[in-house]
Structure 1
Amino acid sequence: MARNIFAGTAAEVAEDVSGARIPNAVGTVWDGPSGGASQVLDLLSSELTPIAELVANDHGMVPAFWGPDNGSERLWVDFGSGRVALVANNLAERLKSHLEASDPHGDRAAILALLGVPTGIATLAEDGRVTPSQLPEFAGGEQSVSSVNGYVGDVILDAEDVKASPEDHTHTPAQVGSAPADHTHTAEAIGAFPITGGTLDGAVNANATSAFPNIRLGGVSTNLAGGSGSIIAMEDATTVPNATPTSVVQYAEGGRFKLRQRDGKVITPVNMPGTWQPDDYGLAAWSYDLHESSRTPGDRPSEAGRLYLVGVPVRTKTTVSKVSCHVMGFDKPNSTVTSAYMGIYDKDLTRLALTADIKAMFPETHNTGGQMATFNLTNSVSLNPGSYYIAILVKGPGTSVPYLAATNWGSTATTSGAKAADVNGVHRWLQTTSTTLTTLPTSLTMVDMADGMTCYWAGLG
């Protein structure tokens, strides 16, 4: 193959890593940039004399040289600062020569030999058509079409000639077997359920939002108890659910609405009596309803120095940011409280949230009945339905400390005795055996706990 010429232009210079030219630098030529490339020794100078390496001139310019006779169009040179690619600078001349050559690929003569010959390439006459002599004959000799549909000469057929309808034709619904434009269908005819009235059997699989004025489940009665619009009515269940569902099943029994939960419990909603609830006080849950028989003046959690846990049931998923206790009395100006914290633990005694030190936040209290004290958690926490503990830790000597509300189980005492855990394993009241804690641990264990001997009130919200 022909050799290609490289370098010899103002762009090719020998340089060091800083970009400075290197006069009379000696370089090597390679067939690739990688470490596995081979050095190219088949080189010729511009005068066509063999050379084994490149030598820059006094100005650091790389002189022109001819590459190897394998037609390489890209080489890599190294003057000590790493390999740099060079592209042959006679590509433009080669391309121009290729484009101007009469047969650059050497195949035009072969193609021309096939023109106008049998099994070759047909040529066109001056009228742009293939000459008849280049067309094969019919098997039965020369034949021609004498007429089309009885027409001769230049034949043009219209829709009527071929029994077709014209472009502007129309059809009646009856002609194509369709229903007329003003037709209607009943819900039963198309297998759908009606907007009003009727019965739907089977399942409805709807991924889109559907609007129904009213829905009645079971039975045939249309009685909606005088209501209309967005009403759901249901008959008593034919067979009351008695198995454990995977989620929640709702039904009616004896004219009462019921829910069967995944834990197998059946809930029957009832009207709430005229009693106080946590949300009446801005809370989400509490340990019990404070009432007139709560002990006065309460009890001092700092007296024994223990950490007290108060069980609280959470009925619905909620996010809480505060905890509360009820202060029955506190001589704040003479306070001897050294530290105080409240927080929330889950049923496994892992701390979920806590307050900052609240020793200075207890309100001074001297009135009968006391007052609720609410403290912000350092971070909000989302609680799923279940049972949790509210932790109370107050440290300090003497009697100038908060007295907190506690239930009166035995008319004259606040001791509760042993109380069974609920279905979540949470006790109503617990207390640590240790009296040395000064803050709320990140976790506790049951072996460190004892049944609460003082039944404090606490809430969260």
Structure 2
Amino acid sequence: MNGKSAASITLTSTDVNALPSNANAQLQAQYMWLDRAAGTYRAFGYKTAGVDRWLIQVDDTAETGSAAGSNFRLSARNDDGSFNKTVVYANRASGQIAFNTTTLHGSSTATVGGSLGLRDTGTDPATTSGGVFLYAKGGVPYFKNADGTSFQVQPVSYPVSSVNGKTGAVNLGAADVGALDTATGGTVNGIVHLNGNAGTVRELSFNTSGVKRWSIQADTTAEGTGTDDGSNFRIFSRADDGSFKATALYVHRDTGQLVFGDGSPVGGAKATTAGPHGYGNITWTPDTDPDGFQLYAVDGKPMIKKGDGTIFEVGSGGSGGGGAVDSVNGKTGIVTITAEELGAIVKNSATHQENTRAIFQGDGTNNIMEWRNPSGSLIARIGANGNLVGQGVIYAAGGLQLGSTSTDFGGGSGAVIGIDDATTVPSTNPTAGVIAYSEGGKLKIRQPDGQIIVPGTQTVSSVNGLTGAVNVTLDDLGGIPYSEKAAASGVASLDSSTKVPIAQLPDPSVPSGFTPESLGLKAWAGDPDYCASGFSYTGVGQGRMSAVYVNRTMTVSKIVWHVFGYAGGLLSGSWAAIYNTSGARVGYTGDQSTATYEPAEQHSTGGGWSSSNLTSSVSLSPGVYYVLWRWNYTASPVDGPALARYESASTCQSVMGTSNNIWRHASYTTSATTAPSSITVSSFQRDPIRFWVALA
């Protein structure tokens, strides 16, 4: 028992990790809660000989929303333990505090139910910004300001006659005290500072109905020591929900380099555009500035004005070190010369050139004309004797006529070959390949063996080596019977998209890798070996969801969890269910407080798998399914199942997919005491805890 072995065992509070009731104790935890319904006192007290002396308590004021009710009190008790007085009172909604009274004085932060005494201090407080000190010295009240000045509070024999120049029932506005009105805005005649630690965001935002639309900030880039870097400047837009959308401008503090959009500066460039940089057309000419040049657009063309006042279109004139060209073929300004004007053939043109005739006369030895690919290799040529030679495939989109300069297609068009009768019929055999020709209007093929074949006149002499009355079987063709399609030891079938159905494929696992089937399951949220150490509770009445992917049609009857520890205790209203991605329920358990559906207890170190039966087996088609469960149990001491989960130390990814439309893990708020027939998938909430779950 708890590591002890004996016939009669005595356990101490230490053995069961409890606080002793009759000895000093220390709680090794961050929090300790007193949890009761609103409208009742919850107190922690100090006694003398079993009789109350002090109570630290939350009172029985009803909770009505907006943080109202359940206020804090420190109360003193009489000798008989009955109520004496409230020494400290704090209002939960406003945060106001009172001493020796529970009646708050207007909107004051602190109220005293009597006089407030200040004991003398021997020295003035150290100067501190952000407020003032009120203290006593020599029996006299003093104030010390944030600027270090201090003064004695003097009694006056006259009332205030005016406030900021106003008399009577004074009501000051923001303008009266040199401040900005939070509703109408205004002008600041000076410098506004946004101060924060290095590595933190310092931001000015522009909102619509309380939701951010644009932000100007010094970002979280770390600041080096003496390097003048970090805390870079950024302007970025926000999505409709206020989340980050896109960076419009980013400036590096150390170099002053700026980038329009996301990305890094190009080399030492002072300005970089993460994408095309556009220039709008202007109808005026910029003034001359000798300290640089100006780039602008006119009629959709890039123009440069140099420091000496000269203007030219980018890419024209002035190259080669000789300065700008004054004229070309008698033309000035922005000159465009065509091949026709030079009496040349257009190069790299997709249009035809009218009234042009090119005559090439060969030398009888070299090719008259050659065509080469970009790498310089010869691809086609007209030889010295006028023979057209294609080094690659020759295409004839409009048909091909052999033996004549006029077509003889018989009215046909397109992929047609016309062959005139041979002037001289071939008389010798080819050595490689065949000779095709026409004789007497019939197509003939002469083979290397001397046989001349006339298509349409040949008879079949054998089929697959068989002669006579041939009956070809699947075995003769090496085929497989149709009945063996999608059968054991047969071949896979194809679906309507000509793909092999996933149900006919083996598990997508590497050799010796674990799959759900390896461990007796049908599907899971992921390999449980990837779960983090330790466990988490679901929370009383809190819906929890983890998604599973089903890659083939399967029948399931159980939902499975890895439970580190559970001694029973699920209460009525506990349930679990399987939903499709539209939120429709496809399978569910009954009341998990009953023996039929309650997960098994786990008492061993490291725990084990516990499952809950569905009310009936269900068939699942391939796709994503959401396993959702809500457990009701006693919160203190916790007696719900402690579940395995993936790494959940901080904010975790919840929504995935190319369209961010598949939830992998989520929480779900519901008060349903049985599995609802449908859920609202859009009501899933991001949650840092990612529980493991499986189907069996």
- Shared fold (TM-score greater than 0.5)? no
> TM-score, normalised on structure 1?
0.42
Which structure carries more relative contact order (alpha carbon 8 Å, separation 6+)? Answer: 1
Which structure has the greater CA radius of gyration? 1
> TM-score, normalised on structure 2?
0.29
